[in-house]
Amino acid sequence: MNRTEVRSLPVSGVEDAIWFEQKIKECEKNLFRFAFHLTGNKEKAEDLVQETFLRAFQYRHSYDHTRSFENWVYAILFNVYRQRSRKERIIRFIIPWRSQDDEEERFEDCLEWEGDDPEKFTLKKQVLRDLYAIIEKLPTPMKEVMVLCDFMDYSYEEASEIARCPIGTVRSRLHRARKLVRARLEEVYGEEILSLWS
Amino acid sequence: MDCERVRQKLSAYIDGDLTFAEKERIEEHLRFCISCQKEMRKLLGLKNLLRITYTILAIEPKRNFSLHWQEVLQRKSWQRAFLFSLTSLVIVVSLCGLVMWRNAQEEVKGLREEMVSVVALSDGDLDLDRNDLHAFHHSVKVVEFVEFFPER
Ligand SMILES: [Zn+2]
């Protein structure tokens, strides 16, 4: 991921749009992955990214050109995601049966593994599926830092910038999130399951 | 440093988020404590697992965002227009409702007055109390009322 670039300010609106499109092309795939990990659903992720680009374009003048464009867009996506999940929570509270029907597309279909041992592969696949379900159920603030730091490999500092919270908060949330995830996995697969990956 | 405190910091340790002094102390502890070493390996395992999850999920967006955003911008303005007309419709409907309700109120008021005068005309020997009046002034028309109580 290219995170640091400096660019001079574009002048006209047309130039703005061209510049913006090009910038988007550079980061849309990463952004989509990020959105997918947050939402756990392809369609929602696409919507999220689309909305993010719209907002980013709307607020393009607030972008500080000495900083990374990608991180700036990530922060916007984060905001949109938070607003949406708040709305969803309210809807789910009012209409409780609605949460079931958006379970359709799970990530298993996207799973591609070039593994050698089929037995191990099946187990690993199972673990991955469960891992995903566990992360999905984490409280939103924990899930956010986990996606940022563990999936996207951001440093605590970058994560705190994107999620707009202090570094100490990132640190403690991540610690708790990992503890929780680990405990759940070991509950199902036994104490030694994680050594498969170490 | 005891095991409990080391474990509190292991997560930050594997992410390289500790000060030099803290790092030193943790490493010193890890050198002789096998159970904390094991703990750290598991944490590393989890970190690797999460990292792998991210990379093996070969997900790609189905559509091209950069080509679509203008279209969506248009859709947005449609949505806004739709929302605007919906709001206006609601306002108009409620205004109409309000006017109709006022009219109905007036009508009921008139009806009641008429009824009271009818009662007065019958020299008060009908012996109606307030509840009776209240009960029928919604539904029964004055004419019917008069017919029901023919002249004695
Ligand atoms: Zn120890």
Report pLDDT digits (tens) over B23-49: 999 999 999 999 999 999 999 999 988
In tens, the pLDDT along A72-111 reads 999 999 889 988 888 877 776 676 655 544 444 455 555 5
Contact A92, A98 (CB under 8 A): yes
Q: Copy the structure tokens of residue A30.
A: 């990463």
On the CB side of A198, CA atoms within 13 Å amount to 15
* DSSP SS3 for B57: strand
Please give the interface size between A and B, counted as residue pairs whose CB atoms are below 8 Å apart: 118
A46 pLDDT more than 90: no
More confident residue, A7 or A147: A147
* Average pLDDT taken over every residue of chain B: 78
B79-127 tens-digit pLDDT:
788 888 999 999 999 999 999 999 888 887 887 777 777 666 665 555 5
Find the CB nearest B73 among A45, A54, A175: A54
Kindly report each contact of residues B21-30 with a partner whose C-beta sits within 8 Å and lies 24 or more positions away, as own/partner. Answer: B25/B1, B26/B1, B28/B1, B29/B1, B29/B3, B30/B6
Cα(A177)–Cα(A165) distance, integer angstroms: 16
d(CA A100, nearest CA chain B) in Å: 23
Q: What is the pLDDT of residue A104?
A: 42
Residues of chain B in contact with residue A156, where contact means CB-CB under 8 angstroms, are 12, 15, 17
Block residue for tokens 């944490």 = B43
Give me the domains of chain A, ranges plus CATH numbers.
9-99 (1.10.1740.10), 107-198 (1.10.10.10)
Q: Measured between alpha carbons, how far is B4 from A9 in angstroms, rounded to an integer?
A: 52
Q: How far is A43 from chain B (nearest CA, A)?
A: 9
Residue ranges per domain, chain B?
3-56, 65-147
- The answer to whether the beta carbons of residues B87 and A60 sit under 8 Å apart is no
Task: Say which of B42, B50, B59 has its CB closest to residue A195.
Answer: B42
Please tell me the least confidently modeled range out of A160-169, A186-195, B18-27, B76-85: B76-85
**Cβ separation of B41 and A42 shorter than 8 Å?**
no
Distance to chain A for B57, nearest Cα, Å: 5
Q: Which pLDDT score is estimated for B73?
A: 65
Among the partner-chain residues A32, A128, A185, the one whose CB lies closest to the CB of B61 is A32
